[in-house]
Amino acid sequence: MAPETPGFQTEARKLLRLVINSLYSNKEVFLRELISNASDAIDRLRFASLSDPSLLGENEAFSIEICVDSEAGSLSVSDNGIGMTRDEVIANLGTIAKSGTEEFFDQLTGDQKADALLIGQFGVGFYSVFMVSDRVEVTTRKASQEEGTVWRSTGEQEFTVEPAECERGTRIELHLKEDAKEFLSTWRLKDIVRRYSDHISVPVTMPKDDDAEERETVNQATALWTRPRKEVTDDEYNEFYKHISHDFDNPLDWSHNKVEGSLEYASLLYVPKKAPFDLWQRERVRGLKLYVQRVFIMDDAEAFLPLYLRWVKGVVDSSDLPLNVSRETLQDNQQVASMRTSLTSRVLSMLKDLAEKEPDKYKQFWTQFGQVLKEGIGSDPVNQAEILDLLRFRSVKGDESFDVASLEQYVGRMNEGQEKIYYLVGTSSDDLAISPHLEVFKSREIEVLLLSDLVDSWMMPMLSKYEDKSFQDVSRGELDLKVDEPEKPASKESARGAGEESNNEDADLITRLGNVLDDRVESVRRSNRLTTSAACLVLDENDTGHQLRRMLEASGKEVPLPKPHLEVNLDHFLLHHLKTLDDDERFADLAHVILDQAALTEGQEYLEAGAFVTRLNRLLSEVLA
């Protein structure tokens, strides 16, 4: 029977070329990828055999074997793990089965180094074999089946599949390219296995020397997380991370612990350097690799960490859970719940340490995962204080600006007598930087936190207090800075001794403006926020903010637009001019223009663009005539 030739999926072909090109400087990682897959396959069979011991038959001793045939110029990696059916071989090796292929191509930057790091996220480590081989043969038999399959490919247009007689498990044979013959040397191979795969918990065996019959185990073959911390090197932690996460880069940090007492378990938790492409998809796979008494139970056990820590990678190995736990029973298991509580604290304190000891690394973490961590403020009230300490903000104080200010630093820099933590939420940091709401704060050297992440408008109202300081949105409500400014300078009017008269004029102006703008604003009032702008729009404390409203509307909810207050700067030239303006029509034009100007900088929903242009042009033509 002629072998079938199903052909690679187009994306798989593109990816294949990319993988080959981008990993080329580090060809040897193909072996790490093959051993990592073999070890996973053995883990899966060990687990399946718990409920069906007959799957193992006589072939009970798990191992991964590397064989070299120097005459034929080939190398093979075999495992006696779970194996694959014919359909699985086609799906796993000929297509990119995981979702997100398109996102993957969207994310490519053209920078080969950066792109190579993305590869692991998409489960395509296997393709790295084509860097070193011009022909690859995969012979595999699923543990539960009689018949095997052989898959052959040259890494070009297509592959073939044929039935085959073979042992349980998978054997991958690589016909090495001319420039990859170095991988026929057992010495070179041993070095690679020790460097990348020492932590694999099944034995990896090889001939003792080139062409020797006798074999030896080249790795430690003990589960890394069961070893004492002191005995594990950073390199080993790094390689173990790559094995479990499929990331091609080292992690940023990790925490390895053993807990003894009423609950016994070991955990090894990692903070990745980069956020995965699908961090924001709620249904994305997440969670830890779960082992029970060293037996692999499942990938992506999500019950052990809350959603806002969904980026953590790692392993948890429990001595107490039954071997037959299922995803469902994990959800309402008491032990799992208490492990979740302490694993959550473990992650938070690892981040706290990182922030204290390696602020640059923490900054890197914050840029990647800060927005997700913010979700914890609302969803994990028990840990709110710990999370608050981990938050970082952009902020301004007078002429100075800070990129990653913590609340601790903010409080440390507070002015004498200042009682509140001030902040401003907006859509972009550029808009925030020019907001009129900052004027008085800049002039009085009061620090303001600037928030422009989507979650901010949702998170900030949930913050209760930091230490004994409450939070205040500077764009809302009536601003009362008296307590924050002990010596208030005497106002110009009273210095001139014409206080009362001028107060009456001010009150008249405000009433007149209120009458003209009645339809568009809730009220007009004197501002103590502004030093240079003529006016700004202010919402009440409980109004839905612009950013939050946009977010809700994007998700299909209707949110009424709250009427704003117009606050005017009575020291501003335009307002002085209005006081003496008798012409009602001109007064109205100017009043509306002032309001629209305020809407332009913040709250474009309130802008009447057409009318604004007409009015402005009418005013300009009078001036220029």
Check binding of 33 to ligand ADP (CB under 6 A). yes
Tokens, residue 171 = 């054997």
Distance between CA 362 and CA 348 in Å, rounded? 12
User: With respect to ligand ADP, which residue has the nearer C-beta, 95 or 364?
Assistant: 95
Q: What are phi and psi of 390, to 5 degrees?
A: -90, -10
Selected from 37, 149, 205, 597, the binder of ligand ADP by CB under 6 A is: 37
Crossing angle for the helix pair 112-119 and 10-22, nearest 10 degrees? 120
Q: In terms of CB distance, is 23 or 41 closer to ligand ADP?
A: 41
Q: Kindly state the smallest distance separating residue 110's Cβ from ligand ADP, in Å.
A: 23
Token readout for 380 is 């994990």
Kindly determine how many residues on this chain lie close enough to bind ligand ADP according to the rule CB under 6 A: 17
Chain residues 245-284 in contact with ligand ADP, contact rule CB under 6 A = 246
Site residues for ligand ADP, 505-564, by CB under 6 A, read none
> For ligand ADP, which residue of 38, 180, 321, 538 counts as binding (CB under 6 A)?
38
Choose the stretch contacting ligand ADP; rule: CB under 6 A; options: 34-42, 390-398, 573-581, 613-621. 34-42
- Beta-bridge mates of residue 567: 525, 536
Is the CB of residue 425 less than 8 Å from the CB of residue 456?
yes
3-state SS, residue 361: helix
Both structure tokens of 290: 């779960």
How many whole angstroms separate alpha carbon 466 and alpha carbon 448? 15
- Spatial contact of 444 and 481, defined as CB atoms under 8 Å apart: yes
> Using only C-alpha atoms, what is the Rg of the chain?
33
| Separation between Cα atoms, residue 256 and residue 271, nearest integer Å | 12
Pick the closest to residue 388 from 455, 451, 467, 453 (CA basis).
467
Q: Specify the residue, 41 or 590, whose C-beta has the smaller distance to ligand ADP.
A: 41
- Is the CB of 107 or the CB of 544 nearer to ligand ADP? 107
Query: Smallest distance, Å, CB 61 to ligand ADP?
Result: 17
Tokens of 584: 């009602």
Indicate the pairing of strand 148-153 with strand 159-164.
Answer: antiparallel
Q: Between 41 and 131, name the residue whose CB sits nearer to ligand ADP.
A: 41
Measured from the CB atom, the residue of 20 and 404 that comes closer to ligand ADP is 20
In the bound state with ligand ADP, the residue whose beta carbon lies nearer, of 19 and 309, is 19
- By C-beta, is 123 or 203 nearer to ligand ADP? 123
Smallest distance, ligand ADP to C-beta of residue 176, A: 19
Burial letters for 595-618: b for 16+ Cβ neighbours within 10 Å, e otherwise? bbbbbebbbeebeeeeebeebbee
x/- track of binding to ligand ADP for residues 302-341 (CB under 6 A): ----------------------------------------
How many residues does the structure list for the chain? 625
Name the segment binding ligand ADP (CB under 6 A); options: 33-41, 372-380, 414-422, 479-487. Answer: 33-41
197 belongs to the binding site for ligand ADP (CB under 6 A) = no
Q: What's 561's DSSP letter?
A: P
Contact 377, 451 (CB under 8 A): no
In whole angstroms, the minimum distance from the beta carbon of 93 to ligand ADP comes to: 6
Q: Tokens representing 344? A: 């959550």
C-alpha torsion sign, points 491, 496, 499, 505: negative
SS (H, E, C) 69-136: ECCCCEEEEEECCCCCCHHHHHHHHHCCCCCCHHHHHHHCCCCHHHHHHHHHHHCCHHHHHHHCEEEE
Write down the residue that tokens 């395509």 correspond to.
124
Of the candidate residues 19, 23, 35, 41, the single one contacting ligand ADP (CB under 6 A):
41
Task: State the nearest-atom distance from the C-beta of 307 to ligand ADP, in Å.
Answer: 23
Closer of 19 and 517 to ligand ADP (Cβ): 19
Cα angle, residue 122 at apex, residues 117 and 123 outer, rounded to 5°: 105
Report the nearest approach of ligand ADP to the CB of residue 141 (Å): 10
HEC string of 233-249? Answer: CHHHHHHHHHHHHCCCC
Stretch that binds ligand ADP, among 31-39, 399-407, 596-604, 606-614 (CB under 6 A): 31-39
- Ordered alpha helix ranges (H), 546-608: 546-554, 573-579, 584-601
Between 248 and 308, name the residue whose CB sits nearer to ligand ADP.
248
Q: Tokens 């004492």 belong to which residue?
A: 228
Binding pattern to ligand ADP, positions 48-87, x when CB under 6 A?
-------------------------------x-xxxx---
Q: Could you tell me the smallest distance in angstroms from the CB atom of residue 13 to ligand ADP?
A: 14
| Largest distance between two CA atoms of the chain | 108
For position 568 contacting ligand ADP by CB under 6 A, the verdict is: no
Q: How far is the CB of 120 from ligand ADP (least distance, A)?
A: 7
The CB-of-79 to ligand ADP minimum distance in angstroms stands at 5
Q: How far is the CB of 96 from ligand ADP (least distance, A)?
A: 8
Considering only 36-44, 177-185, 352-360, 484-492, which stretch makes contact with ligand ADP by CB under 6 A?
36-44
CB 267 within 8 A of CB 362: no
> Among 324, 323, 350, 320, which residue's Cα sits nearest to residue 337?
320
CB closer to ligand ADP out of 18 and 82: 82
CB of 42 to ligand ADP, least distance (A): 8
Between 129 and 347, CB nearer to ligand ADP: 129
Q: How far apart are the first and last CA of the chain?
A: 93
Nearer to ligand ADP, 83 or 207 (CB): 83
CB of 23 to ligand ADP, least distance (A): 13
Q: Minimum Å distance from CB 125 to ligand ADP?
A: 3
CA distance 478 to 481: 10
| 41 vs 536, beta carbon nearer ligand ADP | 41
Nearer to ligand ADP, 36 or 344 (CB): 36
Residues 6+ apart with CB under 8 A from 67: 75, 76, 78, 207
Question: Which position has the token pair 């072939």?
Answer: 59
Site for ligand ADP in 86-145 (CB under 6 A): 92-93, 123-126
Minimum CB distance to ligand ADP, residue 104 (Å) = 13
Nearer to ligand ADP, 92 or 217 (CB): 92
Candidates 30-38, 412-420, 460-468, 508-516 — which segment interacts with ligand ADP by CB under 6 A? Answer: 30-38
Residues that bind ligand ADP (CB under 6 A): 33, 37-38, 41, 79, 81-84, 92-93, 123-126, 170, 246
